[in-house]
Chains A and B, each alone.
Chain A
Amino acid sequence: MSDNARLVNRPELLGILALAVLLVVILPLSLDVFRLNLVAKYLTYAFVAVGLVICWGYGGILSLGQGVFFGLGGYCMAMFLKLEASSPENTKIQSTPGIPDFMDWNQITSLPFFWKPFHSLTFTVIAIIAVPAFFAFVIGAAMFKRRVGGTYFAIITQAVAAILTILIVGQQGYTGGINGMTDLRTLNGWDIRPDHAKIVLYFFEVACLFGCIFIAQFIRRSKLGRILVAMRDKEDRVRFSGYSVANFKIFAFCVAAIFAAIGGAMFALQVGFMSPSFVGIVPSIEMVIYTAVGGRLSILGAVYGTLLVNFAKTSFSESFPELWLFGLGGLFIAVVLAFPNGLAGIWSDYVQPQVDKLLRKKSPKNGWTDASVADGAPAE
């Protein structure tokens, strides 16, 4: 109980350290730049998965539209990079030099007003956070104040994902359409394409991911985290204990949206393009599956889940491209039926006790039994 006041208890700290060693030391040393860049791409989804742990795992709000926020963050970043890549010198063969190439192809002759602020990196960084947060707030307020929840909310978020995809594809002249924004080159003059830039970006991304993990951990450990668990369980009791349930849900949804958007912005930087194929229904559902496989109640589990599912996706879809989606669906069903707490659940049920036993044998004095704190694990 006294442990609760601290941000992390000892097993959690060990877990975070282990992940840090894996991401900062083991992977960069053992993988070539191409593979490391793949890991970097996977990790952009880990931001979404960590957000879903707070929103879905703790708050019980299943969003099947996280791709929307991933996309909003990604597009904000891509707009800045695209503008920088479309300097008049680079685009002098266009009929209107100085605007992005896809605009020129679509007979647009001047930069639309909402593109103009994206000349500024400061504005872009703020927009990456603020735009998705605003959208999540509006969607959240509209739904949760009216007590729309559960499946209905999930379906609506899915509809939003579909709508945004259609909008992006349809407004080709402003968004780059189905191709997305390609050929992104420099960030404030710094070329993001060569190998050494990829490595710098990788470490920057890992740092941001740990930032998000710590924020998520702080939320989970605060009373707000316990209220989210309480709400998932007995919404009415929370309401009649004097809390505005809608506000807490909006908060959780906004946090998840912001994390997803940071992931999206990292994606644009790492991969060098952004397209509507990361916004729609299928990627949004995949993101939920990463969290489910990793364990929806475990922040670190979500990161491992994302990495594993994506590695599997890359290797399987190379050999059986048409079977992969069925495999993914099967995996999701299997996890939900057999291991509702995902990899993290398997770890804490089967592996952790063995590890504890070994550690206790080695140092009998050092038995930090974390007295079965319920800690938000669902009652099943």
Chain B
Amino acid sequence: MLIGHQPKDFLLAVEGLTVSFDGFKAVNDLSFYVEENEIRVIIGPNGAGKTTVLDLICGKTKATSGAIHFRDKDLTKMKENQIVQAGVGRKFQTPSIYDDLTVFENLEISFPRGRSVFGALTFKRDAIVRDRVEEVAEMIFLKDRLNMSAELLSHGQKQWLEIGMLLIQDPDLLMLDEPVAGMSVSERIKTAELLNTIIKNRSVLVIEHDMKFVEDIAHKVTVLHQGQILSEGSMEKVKNDPKVIEVYLGH
């Protein structure tokens, strides 16, 4: 632990994080801190390394150097499933759901119980599971589609389903990669409303391009550019930062 860098109340502390792919540094000496119950939005031009940062936190990509502390755990040394069990949830950019299963089964698999091989064999679909699945299905507007095969859902519904799958995991840190991309206007409004209910009592890290949406939800914004932080602070501050206007918002 780097003493003095890390007061206790940070949920996530990313320090000196670097990853290089064949010499190209996609993320370069990046440091930022997320507090409990904070909603942080990461913005930046294409190729800035936003998705890579999420990949590094959830263990999909291994860091070349640097540390990611989540509470008292070092995520860089953990496996993906251990990171999830520690309380980090990740939504992918394209809806990542199980087409061959029903909506109910999709949600049930994400229910945080019976995650070992033996646990999965003996898993019972009891009232607790059923109630929780129904509760989440109601929040993600899919209550009447529980028995439908997930492949028949629309794009927006698939995005909601994946958000629901994360919700049922009940993570302390929720990471969303472009949750409203490709959605219709009405779906977008519903999603914003959905996100506003699910971000309570947890920290959220969001990547998003829709500036209106970012303004609505962000507590703090981090602007990435070429793998480094260009600017950080409130939306107001970031919006008026000349560097940010030049590389990103000005376009």
Whether A365 is near chain B, meaning CB under 8 Å from some CB there, is no
> Complex: how many Å from CA A371 to CA B149?
11
- Residues in B38-84 with C-beta less than 8 Å from chain A: 58, 60, 79-81, 84
Q: Which of B60, B96, B105, B146 contacts A234 (CB 8 A)?
A: B96
> A222 → chain B, closest Cβ, in Å?
5
B154 CB to nearest A CB, Å: 15
Per-position binary interface string of chain B over residues 115-139, scored 1 when its CB falls under 8 Å from any chain A CB and 0 otherwise = 1110011111100000000000000
* B121 in contact with A240 (CB, 8 Å): no
Given contacts A240-B58, A372-B149, A376-B101, are A223 and B114 in contact (CB under 8 A)?
yes
| Chain A, Cβ-Cβ closest to B102 | A374
Shortest Cβ gap from B125 to chain A (Å): 6
B75 smallest CB distance to A (angstroms): 13
**Are A379 and B100 in contact (CB-based, < 8 A)?**
yes
Q: Is A349 an interface residue (CB 8 A)?
A: no
Q: A227 to chain B: which residues have CB within 8 Å? A: 109, 120
Smallest beta-carbon distance A370→chain B, Å: 11
B218 at the A interface (CB under 8 A): no
With both beta carbons as reference points, the residue of chain A lying nearest to B146 in the complex is identified as: A1
Chain A interface residue count, Cβ-Cβ cutoff 8 angstroms: 36
> For A371, what are the chain B residues with a Cβ–Cβ distance below 8 Å?
147
B-facing residues in A205-246 (Cβ within 8 Å): 218-219, 222-224, 226-227, 229-230, 232-234, 236-245
Chain A residues lying within 8 Å of B122, measured Cβ to Cβ, are 222
* Separation of A241 and B89 alpha carbons in the complex (Å): 8
Q: Contact: B98 with A229, CB < 8 Å?
A: yes
CB distance from A45 to the nearest CB of B (A): 26
* Given known A1-B146, A237-B96, A240-B84, contact A222–B109 (CB-CB < 8 A): no
The minimal Cβ–Cβ distance linking B111 to chain A, given in whole angstroms, is 9
User: Judging by beta carbons under 8 Å apart, are A5 and B115 in contact?
Assistant: no
Interface residues of A in 131-175 (CB under 8 A from B): none
B108 touches A223 (CB 8 A): yes
Instruction: Contacts A234-B97, A237-B97, A240-B80 given; indicate if A226 touches B169 (C-beta within 8 A).
Output: no
Minimum CB distance partner of A250 in chain B: B117
* B175 to A, closest residue via Cβ: A240
B97, B101, B114, B149: most-surrounded residue (chain A CB, <10 A):
B101
Say yes or no: is A247 at the interface (Cβ < 8 Å to chain B): yes
Please judge, given known A-B contacts A223-B109, A227-B109, A239-B80, whether A1 and B117 are in contact too, CB under 8 Å: no
Q: Given the complex, which residues of B lie within 8 Å of A219, measured CB to CB?
A: 121
Which chain B residue has the least Cβ–Cβ distance from A376?
Answer: B100
Q: Which of B87-102 contact A (CB under 8 A)?
A: 89-90, 92, 96-102
Q: Output the nearest chain B residue to A231 by Cβ-Cβ distance.
A: B98
Using A223-B125, A230-B109 as known contacts, list a sample of 11 further A-B pairs with CB atoms less than 8 Å apart, ordered by residue number in A: A222-B120, A226-B108, A232-B100, A237-B92, A239-B81, A242-B112, A244-B115, A248-B117, A371-B147, A374-B150, A379-B99
Top 6 closest A-B pairs, CB basis?
A242-B84, A223-B123, A374-B149, A224-B120, A230-B98, A379-B99
9 contacting pairs across A/B (C-beta < 8 A):
A1-B102, A1-B146, A222-B122, A222-B123, A224-B117, A237-B98, A241-B169, A244-B116, A251-B117
